[in-house]
Every structure is written in structure tokens, then in C-alpha cells.
């Protein structure tokens, strides 16, 4: 408008005495050709200004005294209607048509009465300040031409002190009616009540380092979902769902690990709608809830990118319907479970380049989970009896592909194997491929609870392609019980079937001493006698072999030893001195140790070897040497 008036003034020379023009502003020059021309130019310029102002009106102008009068005057003409500071009371259903662009200045407010709807179908311009005051069921509808809605329009303060629940919740409800995203600024919105479930096929939540502070929620109520996302549109309407549903938020249940709220931070899924899929969650931190993430039925093809989960766990119940297909976590961190962990009971999961640090996954149901190029560091258990990963399911399957296991200095011994597979999971189980184990502490003593120095505890199926290190504190461990190359390794057949015995002493299955089960192998050599038991099994050059066994011995004068020998296809001994572990206590033992203790050994299969022989031996020069052996595990990979 200013440029038009300036243009008019430039066209008008210094006025001389005379009569007023038709626009009643300047005096025109004296009569004459020049004066008459200047008068026409001046009038034409002001006519342009008037035409412009006719399309840009302010509520309160003549003819625009009320909103109803303004809309009546405007009719179908394209107009920008400025709402200046002051309250506009909406006491009856009112529609702002598509030809009206509302420009609400700071201090301008639509006060919408209970049961009344203000429908906006045109453009809407306003800054981050309140422009709607809603009473009761009063609301805002329509389909305004906006990029996004702001929670400040509904009264949110974002100072981290005032309770913004009502304003944020109403903004999200209206945004779903408008089919528009909600944009949050970099601020802290205090929310002392859980938000109404949000249909992301109709809206998005876009943050900018925004904090949603739910720390004011009551302390209890795990089924209280602070933030619940679902989609009413099924996968056929993929364009409604294929979006970033949640981005750029800190979702806070607690600001400390010691005061976790017994709630769910982010819940995804719905009991009725079947298409909660195709959307993603990006750049979010969720912390301080018992379940930071919880998935319900009908949740599938949902992806998380660059997210962090801290102080609390994740929960997916067993037996959920129509959910879990290709749930992805990419470059995410699960940190410091503070007594909680990641419990997966239903679904199909892909964890790619993720970190699990003091927060371990547990498979509790019919689940397939792939962990690729991921990092595991400590179990997250509040005691020494947790696991890095627990496949606690008969039908679950886990693939660890290219993952890294890191140990850190621990004040107390870690008493379990790193992984566990359910004893009855004999067909799916755990598949380890290219696992790197690094820097485990020297007081790693898994035999305290798991019965062996094992990487994987339990009798379930374990498949191993490659493990890049094999010792803790210099002592090797066996991989798992399931792929042991030995038959009758625990002697629970009650005999020595599968074993070749030799010598003048006796070799029997005995119930006198046993580490687990009912039997162990007993080697007894009287004065001047010896005895041995062995098994052979196939190997290939370059493979790595690990052995773990339990021994209980009483020796007067004599010895016991355990040996590993490799042979080529001609039956020639091709053993080389390439073993590692407690070798000094492996080859020959002459002292009594009348308690059960574990022996471990590792070796690479030498060039030319096609088979190996594992043997235990006892002899005596006087008196009696008695040795019990139990739970022998030989792994080759």
C-alpha cells in the first residue's frame, strides 16, 4: 500500500492554489493542459490504492464492524481479512469461505462457544501465539490452506512450567480434522495427562528438538500410553501413511533412572484398525518410562531411524494378531534399562547398526529378530545373572550378523553366558555369523550359573559361522551345548556309548558324582594301571575348535590329562602346538581337586587335518586315581 501512495506522490507536482480534486486530497494546479493531466494521473493512482485496499480489509473497518458483516460484505471476492488485537466471539456455527485469507495479528482471538464450530476453508496466517479460545465442545473445523498447525494457536505456552496438555491435545484433535501436520517449536511442553490417541493418517507431529515432558504423570499405570500413534487408513491408502509420523522430540517420563514412570512412553498400534503401517519415527529420544516403546496388534512395517531409548524397556506382548512384519530399527540406541529390558513377544524385527548398552533383548514368543552390524555392551541386568541376549522362546529365531560384543570392567563377576537359547528351541534357535567379541573382563565366570564357560547357554539350537575372538581373561570358552560334536557328552545314557575306552583300569558311567543330570564318566586306575576314554569327529583345516568340560579328581600318586590330537586322511598325527587357554592345567594334573571345576581349551585345526580325537586319561603308580568327567562340549566352526 505504501508503494502505491509513494508512486502517486511522485506523479504529482507541487500543488498550487486551486480547487480540490475529486479525491479530496491535493489541490490541482491552475487550469491548463498540464494541470488537467496531473489531476487525472493523481486520481487514477488513488483509484489503484482503493482497489488494493478493497482486497485487504481489517475487521472493524466501515462495513466490516463484525465478522458476520465482513463476510457478508466480502461475498465471493478474494480478500485478506485482518483480525487485529481483540476478541471475536463466535456464538453460532460460522464458515470462513475459501476466498477469505484470515490474517490474525498478535492479540487477535476467536472465542468459540460451547457446541459451536468455526469452519475455516481459506488461508490462515498467524504467528506462534494464541488465536483460538475454545469453550466446552467448541472447535475449529474445515480445511484451511496452511503448512501446519501450531499448538500455540490453542494456548500452549511451552515454558516447561505451565501445563500445556489441554492446548496441545486440542491442537492435535483439530489438526486431524484439518488433515494437517502439527509443528512444535524448540521448547518444553509440560504434559501432566496422556494425550488422546493420534491418527497419523490424518496428521504428523514435527518437532525441532522439542521436549514433551510427561514427568508430571502419576507414578503408576503401565497401560497409560503417554503418546499413542495409530492409523485408520489401511495399507491400500499408502500415501496417507507413508510419512514421518513423529520427528525431533524428547519424550520424557523421568529425568533420572531412579524415578521411572510405570507407563508407556510411545505406543504404536490399534485393536481395531488393521493398517498401522508404512510410517516412520525419526530423531526421537524416549526415556524414563517402564516401557519406552510398546507395540500393539496391527502394527507392522513401522521404522525407527536415529532414535534413542533410555531408562526403561520396550514391550511387545506374546500372541498379538496381524502385527510385527518388518519392524525396523536403524541406527538406534537402547541404553541403561535400569532394571527393564527389550521384551519381544510377537513380530518380525530388523535391528540395523543399533547399540544395546545395559539394555538387552529378550525373545519371549514366536519372533524372528535380525541384529545386523550392531553393538552389545553389558546385559543391563540389575544383578550378575542377566544376558546380552536371551532367546527365551521355543519358536523364536535370532540372527546375529556382523555384531560386536564389548565387555567393560565390572565390580562383580558376570556369572552367566552372554547369550541363552531356550532348551526346547531345537529347530530355529540362534544363528551367529561373524561375531566379534572384544575386551571382556577377566572375572567373567559364567560357569557359576550356566554350568559352563559358554558363549551361549541352554540346550537350544545354535549355528555358528564365525566368531572372531574366543577368550575372556585369557581363558577360552565353548560356543554352545547344542552343536557339540560329541555323542553322549553328559553320559545320561547311563553307559559309555559313543566313547572308545582303553587300559587296565575301569571306565564307567557313574552316579557317585555328577555336575548336572544323573551321571558322569568315571575313570578309575589302581596301582600300576591306566585307563582312557576318547571320541573322534570330523574337522576341516582353518576351523576353530573349543572344548569345555567339568572335572572332579582324587589322586594319590599318579596323574590325569586331557588331550586333543589331529590326524590327516592317512591317519598320521598332524597336531601342532597351537592351543590356547588353561593349557598348563589341561595336559597333566597330579594333584587332588575333589570339587567340580571347569577346564577349557581352544585350538585352530592345522593344515591337512580331517579328524580330531578328544581323550581323557588317568593313571596311578600307587594308590588309586579317580577322575569324574561331565558335560563335555566340543564346538567346531
pLDDT digits (tens, 9 = 90+) for 75-130: 999 999 999 999 999 999 999 999 999 999 999 999 999 999 999 999 999 999 99
Indicate whether 2 pLDDT > 50: no
* Concatenated DSSP letters of 158-176: -EEEEE-HHHHHHHHHHHH
Which band of pLDDT confidence, cut at 50, 70 and 90, is reported for residue 26?
A: very low
Per-residue exposure over 267-304, b if at least 16 CB sit within 10 Å of its own CB, e if not: bbbbeebbbbbbbbbbbbbbbbbbbbbbbbbbbbbbbb
H-only helix segments in 161-320: 165-178, 238-241
Show the cell assigned to 573: 598325527
Indicate whether 66 pLDDT > 50: yes
Distance of CA 37 to the CA centre of its chain: 76
Which band of pLDDT confidence, cut at 50, 70 and 90, is reported for residue 393?
A: very high
What pLDDT, on the 0 to 100 scale, is given for residue 54?
55
Which band of pLDDT confidence, cut at 50, 70 and 90, is reported for residue 50?
A: low
Indicate whether 219 pLDDT > 60: yes
What pLDDT, on the 0 to 100 scale, is given for residue 452?
75
Report the run of H or E that residue 250 belongs to, with start and end.
strand 244-252
Q: pTM for this one?
A: 0.85
Helix, strand, or coil (residue 417) = coil
Instruction: Report the chain's C-alpha Rg in angstroms.
Output: 39
Indicate whether 56 pLDDT > 90: no
Please tell me the distance from the alpha carbon of residue 300 to that of residue 348, in angstroms, as a whole number.
Answer: 9
Report the run of H or E that residue 238 belongs to, with start and end.
helix 238-241
Which band of pLDDT confidence, cut at 50, 70 and 90, is reported for residue 473?
A: low
Indicate whether 9 pLDDT > 50: no
pLDDT (tens digit, 9 = 90+) per residue, 318-359?
Answer: 999 998 889 999 999 999 998 899 999 999 999 999 999 989
Which band of pLDDT confidence, cut at 50, 70 and 90, is reported for residue 468?
A: confident
Please tell me the distance from the alpha carbon of residue 53 to that of residue 611, in angstroms, as a whole number.
Answer: 97
Which band of pLDDT confidence, cut at 50, 70 and 90, is reported for residue 404?
A: very high
Q: Mean pLDDT over residues 471-493, rounded?
A: 81
Which band of pLDDT confidence, cut at 50, 70 and 90, is reported for residue 48?
A: low
Q: State the DSSP code for 82.
A: E
What pLDDT, on the 0 to 100 scale, is given for residue 45?
61
Q: What is the mean pLDDT of the chain?
A: 88
CATH class of 500-636: mainly beta
Please tell me the distance from the alpha carbon of residue 357 to that of residue 359, in angstroms, as a whole number.
Answer: 5
Q: Which of 202-206, 387-391, 502-506 has the lowest mean pLDDT?
A: 387-391
Please tell me the distance from the alpha carbon of residue 524 to that of residue 74, in angstroms, as a whole number.
Answer: 109
- Residue written as cell 536371551? 390
Indicate whether 252 pLDDT > 70: yes
Where exactly are the structural domains of the chain?
Answer: 2-53, 360-483, 500-636
- 339, exposed or middle or buried, with CB in 10 Å at 0-12, 13-18, 19+? middle
- Residue 24, C-beta contacts closer than 8 angstroms, at least 6 positions apart: none
Q: List 446's β-bridge partners, or say none.
A: none
* Concatenated DSSP letters of 4-50: HHHHHHHHS----SS-B-TTSSSBP-SSSHHHHHHHHHHHHHHHHHH
Please tell me the distance from the alpha carbon of residue 167 to that of residue 154, in angstroms, as a whole number.
Answer: 5
What pLDDT, on the 0 to 100 scale, is given for residue 25?
44
Amino acid at each position: 500500500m505504501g508503494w502505491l501512495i509513494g508512486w502517486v506522490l511522485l506523479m504529482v507536482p507541487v500543488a498550487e492554489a486551486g480547487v480540490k480534486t475529486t479525491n479530496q486530497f491535493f489541490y490541482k494546479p491552475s487550469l491548463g493542459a498540464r494541470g488537467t493531466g496531473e489531476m487525472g494521473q493523481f486520481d487514477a493512482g488513488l483509484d489503484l490504492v482503493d482497489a488494493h485496499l478493497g482486497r485487504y480489509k481489517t475487521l472493524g473497518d466501515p462495513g466490516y464492524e463484525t465478522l458476520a458483516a465482513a463476510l457478508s460484505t466480502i461475498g465471493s471476492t478474494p480478500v485478506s481479512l485482518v483480525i487485529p488485537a481483540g476478541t471475536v466471539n463466535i456464538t453460532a456455527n460460522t464458515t470462513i469461505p475459501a476466498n477469505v485469507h484470515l490474517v490474525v495479528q498478535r492479540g487477535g482471538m476467536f472465542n468459540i462457544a460451547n457446541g459451536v464450530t468455526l469452519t475455516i476453508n481459506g488461508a490462515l496466517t498467524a504467528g506462534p501465539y494464541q488465536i483460538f479460545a475454545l469453550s466446552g465442545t467448541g472447535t475449529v473445523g474445515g480445511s484451511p490452506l496452511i503448512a501446519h498447525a501450531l499448538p500455540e494457536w490453542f494456548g500452549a505456552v511451552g515454558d516447561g512450567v505451565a501445563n500445556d496438555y489441554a492446548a496441545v491435545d486440542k491442537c492435535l484433535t483439530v489438526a486431524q480434522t484439518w488433515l494437517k501436520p502439527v509443528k512444535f517449536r524448540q521448547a518444553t511442553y509440560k504434559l501432566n495427562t496422556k494425550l488422546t490417541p493420534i491418527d497419523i493418517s490424518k496428521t504428523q507431529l514435527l518437532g525441532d528438538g522439542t521436549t514433551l515432558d510427561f514427568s508430571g504423570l502419576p507414578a503408576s499405570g503401565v497401560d497409560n500410553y503417554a503418546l499413542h500413534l495409530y492409523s485408520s487408513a489401511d495399507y491400500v491408502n499408502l500415501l496417507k501413511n507413508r510419512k514421518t509420523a513423529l520427528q525431533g522430540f524428547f519424550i520424557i517420563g523421568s529425568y533420572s533412572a531412579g524415578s521411572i514412570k510405570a507407563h508407556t512412553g510411545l505406543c504404536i498400534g490399534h485393536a481395531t484398525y488393521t493398517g498401522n503401517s508404512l510410517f516412520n519415527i525419526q530423531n526421537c529420544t524416549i526415556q524414563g518410562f517402564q516401557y519406552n516403546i510398546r507395540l500393539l496388534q496391527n502394527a507392522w512395517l513401522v521404522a525407527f531411524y536415529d532414535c534413542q531409548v533410555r531408562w526403561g524397556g520396550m514391550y511387545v506382548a506374546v500372541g498379538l494378531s496381524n502385527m510385527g512384519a518388518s519392524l525396523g530399527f536403524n541406527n538406534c540406541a537402547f541404553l541403561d534399562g535400569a532394571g527393564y529390558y527389550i521384551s519381544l513377544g510377537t513380530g518380525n524385527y530388523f535391528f540395523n547398526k543399533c547399540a544395546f548398552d545395559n539394555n538387552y533383548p529378550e525373545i519371549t514368543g514366536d519372533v524372528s529378530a535380525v541384529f545386523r552390524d550392531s553393538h552389545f555392551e553389558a546385559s543391563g541386568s540389575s544383578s550378575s545373572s542377566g544376558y546380552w541376549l536371551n532367546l527365551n522362546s521355543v519358536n523364536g529365531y535370532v540372527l546375529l550378523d556382523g555384531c560386536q560384543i564389548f565387555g567393560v570392567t565390572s565390580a562383580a563377576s558376570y556369572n552367566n553366558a552372554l547369550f541363552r537359547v531356550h532348551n526346547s528351541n531345537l529347530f530355529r534357535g540362534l544363528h551367529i555369523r561373524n561375531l566379534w567379541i572384544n575386551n571382556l573382563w577377566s572375572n567373567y565366570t559364567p560357569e557359576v550359573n550356566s554350568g559352563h564357560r559358554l558363549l551361549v547357554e541352554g540346550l537350544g539350537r545354535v549355528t555358528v559361522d564365525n566368531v572372531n575372538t574366543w577368550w575372556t581373561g585369557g581363558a577360552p570358552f565353548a560356543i554352545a551345548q547344542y552343536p557339540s560334536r560329541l555323542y553322549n557328552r553328559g553320559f545320561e545314557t547311563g553307559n559309555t556309548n559313543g566313547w572308545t575306552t582303553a587300559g587296565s583300569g575301569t571306565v564307567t558311567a557313574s552316579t557317585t558324582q555328577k555336575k548336572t543330570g544323573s551321571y558322569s564318566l568315571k575313570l578309575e586306575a589302581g596301582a600300576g594301571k591306566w585307563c582312557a576314554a576318547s571320541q573322534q569327529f570330523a574337522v576341516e583345516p582353518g576351523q576353530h575348535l573349543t572344548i569345555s568340560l567339568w572335572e572332579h579328581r582324587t589322586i594319590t600318586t599318579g596323574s590325569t590329562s586331557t588331550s586333543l590330537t589331529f590326524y590327516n586322511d592317512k591317519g598320521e598325527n598332524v597336531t601342532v602346538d597351537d592351543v590356547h587357554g588353561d593349557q598348563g592345567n589341561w595336559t597333566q594334573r597330579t594333584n587332588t581337586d575333589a570339587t567340580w571345576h571347569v577346564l577349557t581349551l581352544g585350538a585352530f585345526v592345522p593344515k591337512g587335518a580331517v579328524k580330531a580325537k578328544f581323550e581323557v586319561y588317568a593313571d596311578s603308580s600307587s594308590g588309586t586315581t579317580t577322575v569324574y568327567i561331565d558335560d563335555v562340549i566340543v564346538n567346531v566352526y
